[in-house]
Amino acid sequence: MSDEFSTDVKVSVVVPVYNVKSYLQQCVDSVLSQTYYNLEIILVDDGSSDGSGEICDQYTEIDSRVKVLHKENGGLSSARNAGLSESTGEWISFVDSDDYIDEKMIQLLLEGCINNQVLLAATGFRTFEDTTNKTLLTYLPDKEEILSSNKFIELMTAHKGPKFFAWNKLYHKSLWNHYCFPEGRKWEDIAIIYKIADESKKVVMMRDVLYHYRQRKNSITQASSLYIYTDYEKSAKEFLDWSLSTHPELKDIASSFYCRSLLDIMYKATSYSNKKFYNLICDKLINCKKNITTSKYLPIKDKIKISLICHDLFYTLYRIYFKLTNRG
């Protein structure tokens, strides 16, 4: 067995930290409590102003496996990239600082990689509401299986799938030799994880729910500014362009994902009563309409929606629907 699949390897866990004082202890404690002990835990304080950085420093006195980087605020991608550069482990995992992980997550993902001789493992996850702890979504894979990178990318685009998240996965560090997270934009996971999956060639999908994702009202993906969704569109379009230029066998999958992304953004524009932004997204949907009419990856209901969006009446009716369903 090669060294990269040794059972006694260091795993670096990168935790970007920014103003999460209320959640940080639960997150870090869940990493420290892992049944797999050979960890390097890198807490990247991304210019926090609420005392989170001081809490990070306190953990270095509690456990020698913890390392802390303090840097000026540069955003999630910048913090993750800083942690990647500092890491010395053979394997890498990312945990967002307002989330927490199951105590066996690293062990099970690492065993999955070692036992199956693959460089990337993914797990199911649970999304829960911040204030009530109510489960909003659970993704539990149907079975443990080895997937080709193309099949895994297809699975990540599915409505119920492992998604283009950085955090519910374990990577061999070599996968990141030529890649990093794009800085200065949101929705960075969509922009990079399909490339990492492609680099891996094979992926083990574990049949477990090992990651717990906290949905907060003031998180990046819940932010109030409509125009952060331009980054969402940009990342989805880059995925489509990548498939067209290098992986034509994924063209239909990427095209359908792009169209579903545009639909998501269009509904967000409608809820904000932003007709100008709505029209911009509609134009993009109309431009790609011809590519998805026969796609088996796009649900019929979405095809119908796309066929209707060119009519002004659709916007008006959806505004009425949105108001009725969001009363109180």
Taking the alpha carbons of 187, 191, 192, 197 in that order, is the dihedral positive or negative? positive
Walk me through the domains of the chain, giving residue ranges and CATH numbers. Answer: 3-221 (3.90.550.10), 224-325 (no CATH)
Computed over its alpha carbons, how large is the radius of gyration of the chain? 20
Confidence of residue 293 (pLDDT cuts 50, 70, 90): low
Cβ-based burial of 230 (10 A; exposed 0-12, middle 13-18, buried ≥19): middle
The answer for 19, left when phi > 0, alpha when psi is -120 to 50, beta otherwise, is left
pLDDT digits (tens, 9 = 90+) for 253-284: 999 899 888 888 877 776 666 777 777 777 88
pLDDT digits (tens, 9 = 90+) for 299-322: 787 777 777 765 666 666 666 766
36 pLDDT exceeds 80?
yes
- Model confidence, pTM: 0.89
Confidence of residue 223 (pLDDT cuts 50, 70, 90): very low
Report, as an integer, the average pLDDT of 59-87: 98
Report strand pairing: 202-215 vs 145-148.
antiparallel
Nearest to 222 by CA among 179, 268, 171, 273: 268
Confidence of residue 289 (pLDDT cuts 50, 70, 90): low
Q: Output helix, strand, coil percentages for the chain, rounded to the nearest 5.
A: 50, 20, 30
